[in-house]
């Protein structure tokens, strides 16, 4: 997942804390001076909460002054004096923004959350002041209208089009009354998205399954028991504590023999934001959907999905829905068969009940072991986190010639964070890479890639290199064992590192077109293609050794992974499709929905549900991807990108999985280009043709 960045121009703003006199002193505020750090990285060791508000005020004033100068320029509007000048008008504000909002996900607290709640509406207002400025838009439109005669290169054309659409798709063509309505709606949306995220984090952090009897540990792997014991100690408790952090939740659902406890923790996870308490997101979901519809209607679109998809490879809902339905039709027969198989093994193991959602992981794991002799715990010793990291680094070196040098000279925002200087094959500096692996109280769950600075070429001609971060939630080392990854976690790190490569290898002129600044249904290609190397023995032999014996991962174990890759492929595919369906449903409404959230959700997802619904649980109130994370009307993109990555990886399979010529083509045509051209043109330049769905269906075992 690429985490949503919040630069000034997309509607989220910053804020002001009152009475922050210390931070207002320019000499004391690190945001208001040139960073004296290695590669001008954020000086996290000096940044304090009280610095944000006054720095944002100064940065907004700088941006406002730069915009006023563009408007006041009496010369004829040109690409340089209008479009490029606007591109560089908000550099400091974006730098502060990137630090503030990224830390709110990775290292937040109640003070930082309060700051952001206060700053979000202010930033939204500021962004709207720019986007709705008639005099500024006239200048941008004047350049856009004569674009055919300007002799611009491909990237300049894309910047001009993106700049113009940035205004027109954000209300610049509206009348004065509609503009005020747009301002109010976007302001409220900014506040609600932040509140949604805060509520999910609060619900996640508030749940602890406190186990005090050894009988309650039945079936749990020793690694999970040790981790639960460590959490209990940290919280000053005896016994063991299981949290909703996925490194604990996932294994517990797979291995716990205590059905009552599986049900308890499942209901806790499934009811986040849906308990009718102060953290309930139900009303927020309905309101966000309604406000997004209002934005679409104001701008002349029938639904929010139409508005979003205009700027995606899919282009319109009438392409997304058939795509999802085609995948669902291919997945459904396999799903039905798989559910029957899991139910059968449950009965063989003595279950006298039909499968419920808290049974699925447990009995699916039993079936996986029976069919493939797949033992997740036996695999983990071969996936020591340090070894996996070095292996992925080595893969990047083999493919692209880049190297990674650990450094302690870059300030970090938490002691868990590691930093690396990334160097190109010619020895030139490429990027700083931050790695933040472990869960903690102030960190959102899941995994993502983000940036503290995008790559661009400044106005002096210097190529400013990016600052890229990969954030995950892997199990921390214990006193007796290092951090050992499940195969899924190893796959996750490959995925996020693919996003990181997209950021680190960026080579654009303009930051707004750099790296992962691409269509949402294209951004997952660089990440998902990396997952293809996960089961290649030639790659695994580079790093996958038993952390105690040094033995390479056995071929038969790798074959087991390969054989089991399409295990429950129908169910897995249908589950992902269901997420895309509910996302499209919320953003395809043509009238505000006034009923109960759960009724809407159940009716939409009925055709993709294969297990009984669980009263008191709902997906939407904790679906941060679409209500707080930038994937609204875009969750289908994970499946869309699977089509791209399956098709693209076939080139590596044909030419060799480490073939440097193929890798260089992928770098030149995909990774380095960012959003400088239409993604289909970039893809065809690499692949030689448009992708088809066949490669995905064949790889997944879903092709009939």
DSSP 535: G
Residue 11 confidence (pLDDT) above 80: no
CA dist 292 and 120 (Å) reads 17
Contact criterion met (CB below 8 Å) for 445 and 436? no
- Quickly state the pLDDT bin for 326 (edges 50, 70, 90): confident
Residue 8 confidence (pLDDT) above 60: no
Percent of the chain with pLDDT over 90: 87
pLDDT of residue 13: 29
pLDDT of residue 702: 75
CA dist 618 and 600 (Å) reads 10
pLDDT of residue 25: 58
Q: What average pLDDT does this structure show over 488-514?
A: 97
Contacts for 156-160: CB closer than 8 Å, 24+ residues apart? 156/79, 158/513, 158/675, 158/676, 158/677, 159/83, 159/84, 159/87, 159/510, 159/512, 159/513, 160/79, 160/83
Q: What average pLDDT does this structure show over 410-429?
A: 98
Contact criterion met (CB below 8 Å) for 695 and 653? no
pLDDT of residue 691: 86
pLDDT of residue 16: 24
CA dist 281 and 276 (Å) reads 8
pLDDT of residue 19: 28
C-alpha angle 341/344/348, rounded to 5°?
A: 140
Residue-wise pLDDT tens digits, 118-169: 998 999 999 999 999 999 999 999 999 999 999 999 999 999 999 999 999 9
CA dist 650 and 695 (Å) reads 8
Residue 445 confidence (pLDDT) above 70: yes
What residue has token string 């930082």? 112
Contact criterion met (CB below 8 Å) for 197 and 624? yes
Classify burial at 248, counting beta carbons within 10 Å of its beta carbon; exposed 0-12, middle 13-18, buried 19 or more: buried
Query: What SS3 state is found at 22?
Result: helix
Count Cβ atoms below 10 Å from residue 604 Cβ, excluding itself.
18
Tokens read off for 588: 């395809």
Give the residue from 420, 414, 357 showing the smallest Cα distance to 39. Answer: 420
CA dist 325 and 331 (Å) reads 10
* Residue 254 host element (H or E): helix 246-255
Residue ranges of domains in the chain, CATH in brackets:
8-131+133-169 (1.10.1370.40), 207-270 (no CATH), 381-518 (3.40.390.10)
Contact criterion met (CB below 8 Å) for 270 and 571? no
Identify each DSSP E strand in 95-238 by its residue range: 209-211
Tokens read off for 89: 């008008």
Count Cβ atoms below 10 Å from residue 74 Cβ, excluding itself.
4
Residue 4 confidence (pLDDT) above 90: no
CA dist 382 and 484 (Å) reads 8
CA dist 581 and 569 (Å) reads 18
Residue 209 confidence (pLDDT) above 90: yes
Q: Which residues pair with 421 in a beta bridge?
A: 405, 432
pLDDT of residue 26: 63
CA dist 44 and 21 (Å) reads 20
CA dist 283 and 287 (Å) reads 6
Residue-wise pLDDT tens digits, 224-240: 999 999 999 999 999 99
pLDDT of residue 699: 80
- Quickly state the pLDDT bin for 23 (edges 50, 70, 90): very low
Count Cβ atoms below 10 Å from residue 212 Cβ, excluding itself.
11
The answer to whether residue 198 is catalytic is no
Would you say the pTM of this structure is higher than 0.85? yes
Name the CA dihedral angle for 550, 553, 554, 558, rounded to a multiple of 10 degrees. Answer: 180
pLDDT of residue 513: 98
CA dist 455 and 499 (Å) reads 14
Give the residue from 206, 194, 275, 213 showing the smallest Cα distance to 244. Answer: 206
Residue-wise pLDDT tens digits, 340-362: 999 999 999 999 999 999 999 99
Mean pLDDT over each residue of the chain, to the nearest integer:
93
pLDDT of residue 3: 63
Sequence-ordered alpha helix ranges (H) in 373-442 = 376-379, 385-400
Q: How far is CA 397 from the centre of its chain?
A: 24
Tokens read off for 303: 């639904």
Q: What average pLDDT does this structure show over 544-550?
A: 97
pLDDT of residue 622: 97
pLDDT of residue 374: 86
CA dist 547 and 243 (Å) reads 27
- Active-site option among 365, 421, 489, 496: 496
Residue 45 confidence (pLDDT) above 70: yes
Give the residue from 460, 452, 455, 469 showing the smallest Cα distance to 507. Answer: 455
Residue-wise pLDDT tens digits, 607-662: 888 899 999 999 999 999 999 988 999 999 999 999 899 999 999 999 999 999 99
pLDDT of residue 704: 59
């Amino acid at each position: 997942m690429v985490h949503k960045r919040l630069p000034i121009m997309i509607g989220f703003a910053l804020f002001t804390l009152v009475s922050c006199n210390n931070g207002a002193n320019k000499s004391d505020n690190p945001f208001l001076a040139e960073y004296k750090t290695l590669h001008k990285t954020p000086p996290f060791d000096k940044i304090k909460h009280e610095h944000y508000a006054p720095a944002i005020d100064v940065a907004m004033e700088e941006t406002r002054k730069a915009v006023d100068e563009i408007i006041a320029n009496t010369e004829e509007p040109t690409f340089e004096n209008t479009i490029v000048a606007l591109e560089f008008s908000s550099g400091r504000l974006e730098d502060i923004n990137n630090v503030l909002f990224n830390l709110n996900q990775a290292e937040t607290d109640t003070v930082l959350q309060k700051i952001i709640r206060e700053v979000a509406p202010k930033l939204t207002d500021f962004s709207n002041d720019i986007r709705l400025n008639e005099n500024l838009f006239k200048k941008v439109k004047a350049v856009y209208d004569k674009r055919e005669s300007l002799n611009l290169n491909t990237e300049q054309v894309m910047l001009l089009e993106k700049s113009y659409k940035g205004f027109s798709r954000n209300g610049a063509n509206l009348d004065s009354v509609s503009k005020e309505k747009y301002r109010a709606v976007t302001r409220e949306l900014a506040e609600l998205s932040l509140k949604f995220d805060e509520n999910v984090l609060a619900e996640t952090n508030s749940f602890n399954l406190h186990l005090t009897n050894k009988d309650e540990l039945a079936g749990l792997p020793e690694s999970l028991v040790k981790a639960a014991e460590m959490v209990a100690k940290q919280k000053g408790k005896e016994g063991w504590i299981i949290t909703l952090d996925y490194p604990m939740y996932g294994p517990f659902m797979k291995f716990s023999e205590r059905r009552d406890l599986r049900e308890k923790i499942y209901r806790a996870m499934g009811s986040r934001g849906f308990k009718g308490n102060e953290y309930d997101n139900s009303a927020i979901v309905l309101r966000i959907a309604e406000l997004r519809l209002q934005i679409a209607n104001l701008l002349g679109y029938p639904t929010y999905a139409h508005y979003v998809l205009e700027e995606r490879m899919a282009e319109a809902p009438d392409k997304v829905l058939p795509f999802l339905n085609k995948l669902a039709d291919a997945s459904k027969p396999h799903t039905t068969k798989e559910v029957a198989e899991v139910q059968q093994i449950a009965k063989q193991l003595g279950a006298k009940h039909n499968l419920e959602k808290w049974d699925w992981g447990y009995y699916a794991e039993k079936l996986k072991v029976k069919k493939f002799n797949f033992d997740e715990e036996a695999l983990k010793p071969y996936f020591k986190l340090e070894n996996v990291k070095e292996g992925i680094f080595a893969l990047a070196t083999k493919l692209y010639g880049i190297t990674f040098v650990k450094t302690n000279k870059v300030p970090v925002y938490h002691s868990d964070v590691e930093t690396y200087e990334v160097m190109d094959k010619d020895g030139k500096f490429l990027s700083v890479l931050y790695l933040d692996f472990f869960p903690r109280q102030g960190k959102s769950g899941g995994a993502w890639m983000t940036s503290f600075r995008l790559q661009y070429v400044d106005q002096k001609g210097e190529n400013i290199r990016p600052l890229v971060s990969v954030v995950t939630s892997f199990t921390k080392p214990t006193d007796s064992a290092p951090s050992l990854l499940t195969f899924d976690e190893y796959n996750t790190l490959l995925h996020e590192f693919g996003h990181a490569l997209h950021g680190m290898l960026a080579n654009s002129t303009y930051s707004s077109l750099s790296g992962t600044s691409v269509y949402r249904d294209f951004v997952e290609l660089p990440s998902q293609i990396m997952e293809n190397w996960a089961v290649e023995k030639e790659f695994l032999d580079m790093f996958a050794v038993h952390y105690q014996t040094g033995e390479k991962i056995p071929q038969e174990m790798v074959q087991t992974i390969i054989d089991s890759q399409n295990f429950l492929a129908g169910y897995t595919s249908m589950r992902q499709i269901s997420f895309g369906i509910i996302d499209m449903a919320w953003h395809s409404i043509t009238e505000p929905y006034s009923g109960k959230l759960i009724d809407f959700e159940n009716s939409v997802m009925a055709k993709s549900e294969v297990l009984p619904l669980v009263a008191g649980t709902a997906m939407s109130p904790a679906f941060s991807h679409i209500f707080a994370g930038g994937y609204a009307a875009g969750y289908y993109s994970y499946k869309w990108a699977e089509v791209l990555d399956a098709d693209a990886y076939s080139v590596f399979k044909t030419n060799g999985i480490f073939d440097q010529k193929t890798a260089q083509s992928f770098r030149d045509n995909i990774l380095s280009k960012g959003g400088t051209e239409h993604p289909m043109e970039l893809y065809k330049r690499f692949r030689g043709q448009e992708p088809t769905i066949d490669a995905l269906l064949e790889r997944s075992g879903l092709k009939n």
